[in-house]
A and B are shown apart, each in its own frame.
Chain A
Amino acid sequence: MVSYVTRRVLLAIPVVLVASFLLFVFVRATFDPTARLREGRGGVAAVEHERERLGLDRPIVVQYGDWLGDFARGDWGESERTRADVFTTIRRAMWYTLQLIFWGVLLAAIIAVIVGVLSAIKQYSTLDHTFTALAFVGLALPPFFFGLMAIEFLGIRPKEWFDLSEPVFYSVGLHSADRTGFDLDYLRHLALPVLTLTVQIIAGWSRYQRAAMLDVMSADYIRTARAKGVPRRRVIWRHGLRNALIPLVTVMALDIGVLFGGVIVTETIFSVPGMGRLFFDALTAGDATMLTAWTVVTALFIVAFNLLADVVYGWLDPRIRLS
């Protein structure tokens, strides 16, 4: 197992370097870090001075090398839009997105596995058809629409119907003013954005799980286990599920990696200052420094979660790590 993991880690390093170089080049080619100085009083001289300071007059490979060294040391530069430290800004945004993703993935994984397994073992039953219909509705619902409907029917309307002093579920941020920490207020803020985030994820993952489970349940070793008298529940959850999780784990790892870069719709609707909103603000402002760091960080997470998927894959299926 150790050599398997080591191999995977070593393979990931060149992938990260190539991805970061390409992203660096693309962002530099698209956005000009000295753009704001054009409107300033310094004129052409100020722009030239800034280009020299940022090393923009040097070959792109040299620029990348300098940037990589700074990046590794934690010096990610200063945002052109806000003048704030990029590292601090991304770390803060990442924390918000992490919270949404953690709870969303946890909820989505649990529900998707349960729904997928039940759908598979009760194939073509009323329950299966119901879950299938709900899955397609979930896949069809745009997150933006669902989020606003959730606020309306789970936040505003209940307050009116039951004459409450506050909505049951909140829709702005992850805490009320002056509140922090993990408490009921936090959960009431978390409910709607997590629900919005997970609807499509649950719909997709449950379908994967159902298909994988059906595949596994028709395998010879499952029939053998049943024939040998192993209880049905143990066959499903201990033998069938473990193997059926393998493809789902791969999908989950890929999806989670991508989620780090953009739960922008959910963050926008619920005013959560996470990575998605940060990207949108930086993009519209042409904040090259922020965009460079943001895209590389997101790429790192995607690679990391792919790596994690490979490791978990190897743990779930010994045949893979031994091959």
Chain B
Amino acid sequence: MNGLRRGWLAAICALAVVAAACGTTDKSSSKKPTDDVSTSVPDSGTLVIGAEQEPACADWISSCAGAVWGVWTMQEHTMPRVFDVVEVDGTWRYVPSPLLADAPTVDTDEAGAQRVTYRINPAAVWSDGTPITSDDFAYTWEEIATGKDVWDPTGYDQIEGVDTSDPQTAVVTFKEGEPFGSWKQLFGADYGVFPSHILEGKNRTKQMSDGYDWSGGPWKIESWDRGVSVTLVPNDAYWGTQPQIDKVVFRFIENTASEFKAFESGEVDAIYPQSEPAAVKLIEDGVSGGQSLYTADTGNVEALWINNAKAPLDSVAVRQAIGYSIDRAAIVQSLFGALGVNEPIQTLNPPILSAYADTEAWADYVPDLARVDELLTGDGWAKGGDGIYAKDGKKLSLTIVTDTGNQRRELTEEILQAQLAEAGIELKIKNQKPDQLFGETLVEGNYELALFANVTTTLEPGLCAIMCSGNIPSEDNDFSGGNVTATNVPEADALMKTVETSTDDALRASSQQEADRLLAAAQVSLPLDPLPNIALWSDRIDAAISDNPILAMFWNMNTWRLEG
């Protein structure tokens, strides 16, 4: 082949590639006829969504399924749950899902044990047509309460039994003397309800880890190509609102920069990124050919978590001095000012649980260098020639840790470093990989200050898991406690326990609010910003997209349509 022919061949190939780009989309579009020629014809084809993280497994009970993206890509679409999370008059509430015939009732049995009765919708069936029954509730409880390697058995391990005498009614009785105030989160978005007729007697982990072909939700998992994507198709047997899209593909794009590029190029139709500076900038610049939303009404609290057990942070004065050194409003303004989010959060409870919190508990902690000096000198510290406080020959030098590569948090650390230096406190930054930070360092208490977000996946209040002194990780509890800050405020313990056990909402609210004030007075940690949730989607999606603090933007995906 001579040079001239080679040149023509190359040119033809190039033209073919460009022509392909100009052509129709590869996303199996199919058009349906409409009588109204003035409206755009909906395309029921394939929707592609960028997912930042691939779940390690799909066995939702197991500890390998802790990633929230597992919920967003598969669990919430395929597992039936008793309550949906819905915004009612500006407040997020649990409302009975289509799985139930009506709202569950709560009472006590003859022995005074808490009892919850679920009446199952007679139309509720699994994808194979088998009705969803009380046996499924019983199976789910047993697997969680008695199984090995369970992600979190809280609540389920307080259940005495599930009465299945009526297939359409599941009566859950708690152990005597162990009421569970957060009962609404059970059989909900954390795990859902599992099919006993499919899984009973089998190894549930082996059946589910790599995906499963059954469903009790509007979608079914068609395929899971590890590392690439998971594909959902409509569950024809679903008794609720049928999906109007042929297929939804969640493509795993773990690199944030690549994720934004994929959205900008149109390779994915929607993304739900972390609230990183790049996302804020994209929203600020405007999304060409698409839309965006952001909300600070989330289940997230980003805080400066303080190890209360590590000197000198075991001193209340030092912790309070830190609180008065930091201009939290400036941090929030720097990170999210472009989105109109300017105020720091003043409680360790997330915004969606503000009804149960004292939302001004930490409001006194504003920059006040005179107060810092008063606290530290009163505690025996003196300012050295370098402007840093010292005591007994030792500088007030602290180390902060967060997850490496998180641009937003690294920026926050730099701001904190500058502000604390001005106040006379030296701050060193020593970041770690997420698995090391969350799996070892925090659990073992090998840190002084840590920067990360506490994300709630329930509408039930309760800081006891992370703040009660009995939950400090130790050898006694095999380091399984969640109180990694070693917070020890006995007066608050009793109040937080009440929040966990009482079924009286007003009492729970007042108890948590009082606990908030006590925790703030002890300055156990410092709440910083309410991490906004951000969603971006192309104009190809015709839907009333809104954020859901538990189920993300995908909560009503079965109502979405595609424009041609």
Q: CB within 8 Å of B: which residues of A? A: 35-44, 46, 81-84, 89, 92-93, 96, 148, 151-152, 155-156, 158-160, 162, 164-173, 175-179, 184-185, 187-188, 268-271, 273, 277-278, 284-286
**A277: B residues at CB distance < 8 A:** 227, 254
A172–B251 contact, CB under 8 A? yes
Inter-chain contact A269/B255, CB cutoff 8 Å: yes
> B21's contact among A82, A166, A171, A175, by CB below 8 Å, is which?
A166
Beta-carbon contact of B148 and A81 below 8 Å: no
Residues of A close to B254: CB separation below 8 A = 268, 271, 277
B interface with A by C-beta (< 8 Å): 16-18, 20-28, 46, 48, 50, 56-57, 59, 62-64, 148-150, 153, 205, 209-210, 226-229, 231, 247, 249, 251-255, 257-258, 261-262, 264-268, 288, 433-436, 439, 443, 478-480
Docked-complex contact B64 and A82, CB < 8 angstroms: yes
Chain A residues lying within 8 Å of B26, measured Cβ to Cβ, are 166, 176-179, 185
Please give the distance in Å from A248's CB to the nearest CB on chain B: 24
Is B265 a contact partner of A84 (Cβ separation < 8 A)? no
> What are 26 A-B pairs at a CB distance below 8 A?
A38-B480, A41-B148, A42-B148, A46-B148, A83-B56, A84-B226, A92-B226, A156-B261, A165-B22, A165-B24, A166-B22, A166-B25, A167-B265, A167-B267, A170-B267, A171-B261, A171-B262, A172-B50, A176-B27, A177-B46, A178-B26, A178-B27, A188-B21, A269-B258, A271-B251, A286-B439
Alpha-carbon separation in the docked complex, A277 to B53 (Å) = 13
In the assembled complex, the CB of A294 is this many whole angstroms from the nearest CB of chain B, namely: 14
A268 proximity list for chain B (CB < 8 A)? 254-255, 258
In the complex, the answer to whether B261 meets A36 with C-beta atoms within 8 Å is no
- Contact A93 B56, beta carbon cutoff 8 Å: no
Residues of A within 8 A of B267 (CB): 167, 170-172
Option from B24, B56, B480 in Cβ contact (under 8 Å) with A81: B56
Residues from chain A with Cβ under 8 Å of B24 in the complex:
165
* Smallest beta-carbon distance B357→chain A, Å: 28
Chain B residues lying within 8 Å of A44, measured Cβ to Cβ, are: 478
- Provide the residues of chain A in CB contact with B209, threshold 8 Å: 82-84
Minimum CB–CB distance from B179 to chain A (whole Å) comes to: 22
User: A35-B439, A82-B209, A167-B266 are known contacts. Are A270 and B258 too (CB-CB below 8 A)?
Assistant: yes
A173 to B267: give the CA distance in the assembly, Å. Answer: 10
Bound-complex Cα distance A110 to B253 (A): 31
Set of chain A residues within 8 Å of B228, measured between Cβ atoms = 173, 175, 271, 273
B404 to chain A, nearest CB (A): 10
Question: Cα distance A154–B148 when bound, in Å?
Answer: 50
Compute how far the CA of A83 lies from the CA of B64 in the bound complex, rounded to whole angstroms. 8
Q: Which of A159, A160, A168 gathers the greatest number of chain B CB atoms within 10 Å?
A: A168
A271-B251, A285-B435 are contacts. A92–B227 as well, Cβ < 8 Å?
yes
With A89-B226, A165-B24, A185-B26 in contact, is A148–B261 under 8 Å at CB?
Answer: yes
Q: What is the CB-to-nearest-CB distance from B66 to chain A, in angstroms, rounded to a whole number? A: 10
Q: How far is the CB of A59 from chain B (nearest CB, A)?
A: 27
B25:A152 contact, CB within 8 angstroms: no
Could you tell me if A178 and B28 are in contact, using CB atoms closer than 8 angstroms? Answer: yes
Contact A83 B205, beta carbon cutoff 8 Å: yes
Extra A-B contacts (11), CB below 8 Å, given A96-B227, A284-B434: A39-B480, A40-B148, A41-B480, A159-B266, A165-B24, A165-B266, A166-B20, A167-B267, A169-B17, A172-B262, A177-B229
| B150: chain A residues within 8 A (beta carbon) | 40-41
Is the Cβ of A164 less than 8 Å from the Cβ of B148? no
Which A residues are in CB contact (< 8 Å) with B268? 172
The 9 tightest CB contacts between A and B, nearest first, are: A273-B227, A177-B249, A167-B265, A82-B56, A43-B478, A284-B435, A168-B21, A151-B261, A164-B21
Contacts of B435 on A, CB cut-off 8 Å?
A: 284-286
Q: Are A159 and B21 in contact, CB atoms less than 8 angstroms apart?
A: yes
| Closest-CB distance, A303 to chain B (whole angstroms) | 26
- Find out whether the CB atom of B17 lies under 8 angstroms from the CB atom of A188: yes
When A39-B63, A84-B226, A89-B226 are in contact, do A171 and B258 touch as well, CB less than 8 Å? yes
Bound together, the chains give a CA A315 to CA B210 distance in angstroms of: 47
Supposing A178-B249, A271-B253, A285-B435 touch, asked if A171 and B20 sit within 8 A by C-beta, the answer is: no
Q: How far is the CA of A261 from the CA of B150 in the complex (A)?
A: 34
Tell me the nearest residue of chain B to A85, going by C-beta.
Answer: B210
C-alpha spacing A269/B247, complex, angstroms = 25
Cβ of A96: which chain B residues have Cβ within 8 Å of it? 227
Q: Taking each of A89, A164, A169, which has the highest tally of chain B beta carbons within 10 Å of its own beta carbon?
A: A164
CB-CB nearest in chain B for A173 = B228
Inter-chain contact A156/B59, CB cutoff 8 Å: no
* Given A40-B148, A268-B258, A177:B226 Cβ within 8 A: no
Return chain B residues, CB-CB under 8 Å to A166: 20-23, 25-26, 266
Chain A hits for B288, CB < 8 A: 160
User: A129 → chain B, closest Cβ, in Å?
Assistant: 24
Q: A148 to B255, alpha carbons, bound, how many Å?
A: 11
CB distance from A10 to the nearest CB of B (A): 37
Task: Kindly identify which residue among A40, A167, A188 contacts B63, using a CB–CB cutoff of 8 Å.
Answer: A40
A184 to B17, CA, bound (A): 7
Q: Which residues of A are found within 8 Å of B48, using beta-carbon distances? A: 177
A168 lies within 8 A of B249 (CB): no
Q: How far is the CA of A106 from the CA of B435 in the complex (A)?
A: 37
In the bound assembly, the distance between CA atoms of A160 and B150 in angstroms comes to 49
Q: Is the CB of B439 within 8 A of A152?
A: no
List A contacts of B63 (CB < 8 A): 36, 39-40
Residues of B within 8 A of A148 (CB): 257-258, 261
Contacts of A46 in B (CB 8 A): 148
Cα distance, A287 to B517, chains bound together (Å): 42
Q: Which residues of B contact A285 (CB under 8 A)?
A: 56, 435
Instruction: Give the nearest-CB partner of B229 in chain A.
Output: A177
